[in-house]
Amino acid sequence: MHYFASFPSLVLPTITGQEAEALIIRWFHFLAGITWVGLLYFFNLINVPFMKQVDAAAKPKIFQTLTLPALNLFRWSALLTVFLGFWYWGEFFVGADAQRQGGGAGSTIGLFFALWIAVWAILFFVIKKTSPNGYILGIVTTILVYAAGSAFVRYTPVGGDDNHVLSIGVGGGMGIVMLFNVWGIIWPMNKKIIRGTLAGTPPANAAAMARQAFLASRTNLFLSIPLLFYMAASSHFSSTVIFGK
**Domain extents for the chain?**
25-242
Percent of the chain with pLDDT over 90: 68
| 93 exposure class (CB count in 10 Å sphere: 0-12, 13-18, 19+) | buried
pLDDT in tens, 3-16: 545 555 666 667 78
Instruction: State how far the Cα of 77 lies from the Cα of 59, in Å rounded to an integer.
Output: 25
pTM score, whole prediction: 0.89
Instruction: State how far the Cα of 210 lies from the Cα of 204, in Å rounded to an integer.
Output: 11
Residue 102, pLDDT above cutoff 80:
no
- pLDDT of 19: 86
Percent of the chain with pLDDT over 70: 91
Torsions phi, psi of 85, nearest 5? -65, -40
Q: What is the mean pLDDT of the chain?
A: 90
- pLDDT of 147: 97
pLDDT in tens, 53-84: 988 888 889 999 999 999 999 999 999 999 99
| Inter-residue contact 153 to 231 (CB < 8 Å) | no
